[in-house]
């Protein structure tokens, strides 16, 4: 490991060490089966703690790039160390495994692969979108026989998937269905989830319902479509001014919290603010909770909030978050099943599987308080303004992929 390679001080040290080793392995700096060194020796040579080296090596061991040989040290994992069958090595590519849906999808892939005796290699870009896209470009030259790719919902990601498709490398896309090209995919029924959320709020008596999400994502567009149709089925007009587009730009793995809080404030500062807020994922709901509390508004007394995903923190919010549960582990299992079919029969028809969702009702939704609106609030001058669907927001945004 070169002494003069700098560590990105903006990330956690062990992740930077792991990335430096990862690059060295993929760039040919180490060959398969080569000894990299002991954890104690690496820590001494780099003047870092052994705990840091241990955490970095655990990441690369999980990704299948390294193996630890007791009493010897860390070795680059080679093809001869991998137990493969006719399907061989399967790669899972995720932008950030700290994002709960990506983690659960990966666990579903691993569970399905284990039943078939397959080896799964996890690639976690740790929030670095450029690394994620580079991994997609490298897949055809890798040892992997196929890949499950967790979507990032961005134009650059779609371009990378298009390039990958031209290589005939077998892959399945998880959490996104491509609309302009045939790509095998597994998604939740986002349209039905949006409809269930809309019907729930309408049944409670809400009529001024705002929707907030990043419209570049097809999944979010489907949730909005289901919500809009629920309103239409109730015989009510759909108010497009209540739709807030959180445009996050190129970096979908950045922090969205500032933009979410500003958008929430803008909605509640209107003369006739919403009595309910439907957001495109639970992470956005958490930021909206904070913004509403800062404004002195109570959930659900002043504003009902409903999310999407049912991540583990949803039930621990105060009050617990009403949300639409996505079956992420089942999506991972289904993606693995489709991938094996693609490997076995490359010329077979492309399948796009849609998994059912479930509305989970908790304490964040209730009937509006009579016919009175929640009190309007004032927008501080230093807060960016957000507008309606189709108008770009100008702020930075919480790590909340949809």
Contact 245, 390 (CB under 8 A): yes
| pLDDT for the residue 38 | 85
Q: How many other CB atoms are found less than 10 A from the CB of residue 239?
A: 16
Q: Phi and psi (nearest 5°) for 284? A: -65, -40
- Can you tell me the distance from the alpha carbon of 5 to that of 32, in angstroms, rounded to the nearest whole number? 22
Q: What is the mean pLDDT of residues 131-135?
A: 89
Reported as a pLDDT band with limits 50, 70 and 90, residue 249 is low
Average pLDDT over every residue of 279-302: 94
Percent of the chain with pLDDT over 70: 84
**Pairwise pLDDT comparison (376 vs 339), residue with the higher score:** 339
Q: Which residues contact 318 (CB under 8 A, 6 or more apart)?
A: none
Residues 378-393 have pLDDT tens digits of 544 444 434 444 333 3
Backbone angles phi, psi at 155, to 5 degrees: -55, -40
Task: Give backbone dihedrals phi and psi of 309, rounded to 5 degrees, phi first.
Answer: 130, -50
Q: What is the band of 22 on the pLDDT scale with cuts at 50, 70, 90? A: confident
Tokens, residue 186: 């597994």
Choose among 116, 31, 17, 178: nearest CA to 343.
116
Cβ atoms of 344 and 184 closer than 8 Å: no
Per-residue confidence (pLDDT) for residue 348, from 0 to 100 = 87
Provide the pLDDT for residue 213.
92
- List the structure tokens of 22: 């990862």
Q: Is the pLDDT of residue 79 over 80?
A: no
What is the rounded CA–CA span in Å between residue 361 and residue 198? 13
State how beta strands 243-245 and 209-213 pair.
parallel
Supply the pLDDT for residue 377: 55
Q: What is the pLDDT of residue 217?
A: 87
pLDDT of residue 34: 80
Q: What whole-number percentage of the chain has pLDDT above 90?
A: 50
Q: Above 90 in pLDDT, residue 84?
A: no
317-322 contacts: CB < 8 A, separation 24 or more?
317/285, 317/286, 317/289, 317/364, 319/362, 319/363, 319/364, 320/362, 320/363, 320/364, 321/282, 321/285, 321/362, 321/364, 322/200, 322/359, 322/360, 322/361, 322/362, 322/363, 322/364, 322/365
Q: Average pLDDT in the 119-139 region?
A: 88
48: tokens are 């870092």
Residue pair 322/306 in contact by the 8 Å Cβ criterion: yes
Identify the pLDDT of residue 376.
53
Looking at per-residue pLDDT, the higher value among 340 and 180 belongs to 340
Element (H, E) at 360: strand 358-360
Over the chain, what is the mean pLDDT?
83
Residue 83 has pLDDT above 90, yes or no: no
For the cut 70, the answer to whether the pLDDT of residue 151 exceeds it is yes
- Using one digit for the tens of pLDDT, what is the confidence trace for 46-77? 888 888 888 888 888 877 788 888 777 888 87
Nearest to 101 by CA among 283, 317, 285, 277: 283
């Amino acid at each position: 490991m070169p002494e003069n390679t700098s560590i990105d001080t903006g990330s956690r040290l062990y992740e930077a060490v792991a990335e430096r080793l990862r690059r060295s392995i993929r760039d040919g700096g180490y060959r398969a089966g080569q000894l990299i060194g002991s954890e104690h020796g690496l820590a001494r040579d780099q003047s870092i703690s052994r705990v840091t080296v241990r955490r970095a090596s655990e990441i690369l061991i999980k990704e299948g790039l390294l193996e630890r040989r007791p009493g010897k040290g860390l070795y680059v994992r080679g093809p001869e160390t991998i137990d493969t069958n006719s399907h061989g090595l399967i790669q899972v590519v995720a932008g950030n495994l700290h994002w709960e849906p990506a983690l659960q999808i990966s666990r579903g892939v691993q569970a399905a692969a284990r039943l078939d005796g397959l080896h799964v290699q996890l690639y976690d870009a740790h929030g670095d979108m450029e690394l994620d896209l580079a991994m997609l470009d490298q897949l055809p030259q890798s040892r992997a026989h196929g890949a499950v790719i967790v979507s990032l919902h961005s134009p650059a990601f779609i371009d990378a998937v298009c390039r990958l498709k031209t290589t005939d490398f077998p892959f399945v896309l998880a959490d996104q269905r491509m609309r302009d090209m045939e790509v095998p995919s597994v998604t939740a029924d986002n349209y039905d989830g949006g409809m269930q959320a809309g019907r729930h709020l309408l049944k409670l008596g809400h009529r001024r319902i705002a929707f907030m999400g990043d419209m570049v994502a097809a999944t979010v567009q489907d949730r909005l479509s289901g919500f809009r149709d629920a309103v239409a089925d109730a015989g009510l007009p759909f108010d497009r001014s209540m739709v807030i587009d959180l445009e996050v730009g190129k970096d979908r793995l950045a922090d969205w919290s500032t933009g979410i809080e500003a958008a929430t404030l803008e909605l509640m500062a209107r003369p006739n603010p919403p009595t309910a807020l439907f957001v495109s994922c639970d992470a956005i709901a958490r930021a909206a909770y904070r913004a509403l509390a800062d404004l002195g508004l109570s959930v659900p007394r002043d504003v009902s909030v409903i999310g999407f995903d049912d991540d583990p923190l949803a039930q621990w919010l105060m009050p617990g978050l009403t949300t639409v549960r996505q079956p992420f582990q089942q999506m991972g299992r289904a993606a693995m099943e489709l991938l094996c079919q693609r490997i076995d029969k490359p010329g077979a028809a492309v399948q796009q599987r849609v998994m059912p969702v479930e509305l989970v009702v908790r304490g964040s939704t209730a009937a509006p308080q009579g016919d009175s609106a929640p009190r309007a609030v004032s927008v501080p001058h230093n807060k960016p303004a957000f507008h309606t669907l189709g108008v770009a927001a100008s702020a930075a945004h919480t790590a909340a992929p949809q």
